[in-house]
Structure 1
Amino acid sequence: MHKVRIEYEPLYARVTFQFANSVEVLLNGQREVCININEVHVWANRNQKRARDDIIAQHARTIYLNFRVCISEIEIVDFFTRTFSILVESIDIQKVQPHQIPLHANMILGSASSVAVVLGASNREKMLTISGKVVVAKPFN
């Protein structure tokens, strides 16, 4: 039986097979294979190159979201992915007691340039409507 481990990075999927004789993983018709003694690492490139600004610290890629009604992580990710075609790396929604409503979240994007795409040229706060709920987005300071 082969051991299989799958890891996801923002622009790559890495699949590790231990003691595998052969493996073929395709994603968008491309593949890259690096073979070690007892492991085969397959990196499937999604036809996207990592931008240089992906290396910038997280705070440069973070947007602070403020809201007054309950909104889910799924609603937020879906909105930003569909509306702006950007990668949402993670969302940290305020931790509250069961009877309370979270009022803010920090959203880390895949690149610093995505912050400008969301906030526009002014790079100041912007009001958005997500699933009929008003959300204020501004750069994280």
Structure 2
Amino acid sequence: MTNAEHELFGKAKDSEEDILAKVVKIKESKKQMVTITHYQNEDHELFVRSSSNVELYENMPLNHGYTTIVKVLVGRDEAFYLRDEKGEYPYQSILWIKDSVRDSVMFEVMTYSLDQVTMDELITIAEKVNE
């Protein structure tokens, strides 16, 4: 566990806030930057991931043909809904690439909860992330 995580968990124990956050300064680098945020309640868990290594996701293999892939929109950005019910770790996610003047970033909202979270709910969450 990093110092930032340790500090946040310590604050979370005594806090009544819905969300706690800490900005962690890093050195700028051309290397891949990946962030993952994990949300969990009694019913399910959700992951939000971003990555600066867009090429990796543009050429991503998709589990031997049994992943359902549907084009959707996240705001004005083209995205893909992925659902894999037969793999080792069944999941569903919304994946999209956000282009900006400086660079491109891949985003994904993903859950292992196939029955408790709908595609429309994932899209709504993705739209909030995309704002």
TM-score for the superposition, normalised by structure 1: 0.27
TM-score under structure 2 length normalisation: 0.29
Higher helix share: 2
**Higher Rg of the two aligned structures:** 1
